[in-house]
Chain A
């Protein structure tokens, strides 16, 4: 079974600075998807960024980018120019690309990000 590990329960960063959240995963599959979701105090899960394992290029969405290291099974999220609105719980998630098992997201425990003004 796949597992996702976020080793940083909490992180903090000064406004306008850059922060990197870590995520590692364990799988024997060769094709899969990885995601970062943000959960603000409202508790709705919001998709931040996604990465397809067969793509070597790291995904980028505005101030958010990932460092995907397939061999190391690492998928970190970098937030540049941090803003107060970035404060939230961030979850790393894995989804199989194969039909068997593709139905669910496997989540990490989350990292609580605080932005200091």
Chain B
């Protein structure tokens, strides 16, 4: 089955720890994205990548980092510098960087204890 997978589904972190969220796609999409969703709100863009070995900051990149070493993978690291990391994180991909439709993975719920 083609699609986007995210792991883990739930993640708990102690304050001061870095944590990495996984995102994998087998759709052969060039572009990948990370969004954050807070309760009662829409999604906000954290980072995006148009092609392997390239990525750009979105609207709320502070306290986050990413890498894009493989076309299929776009992991997101939530660092200790992120002041309020508890949120729902969604990964998305699109065929090309300027292709209109983005498709989403199932998401990861991160809770800081």
Chain A residues at the B interface, C-beta cutoff of 8 Å: 4, 33, 35, 37, 42-47, 50, 52, 91, 93, 95, 97, 99, 102-105, 107-110
Contact = CB atoms under 8 A, between A and B. Distances in A.
B59 interface: yes
A93 B92 CA distance: 14
A110 B50 contact: no
Contacts, number: 61
A99 to B, nearest CB: 6
A46 B41 CA distance: 16
Given A43-B106, A108-B42, A103 B101 contact: no
A105 B43 contact: yes
B45 interface: yes
A100 B78 CA distance: 26
12 contacts: A33-B100, A37-B104, A43-B88, A44-B105, A45-B43, A45-B90, A102-B97, A103-B56, A104-B33, A104-B45, A105-B35, A105-B102
Contacts of B88: 43
A44 B106 contact: yes
Contacts of A109: 40-42
Nearest to A98: B98
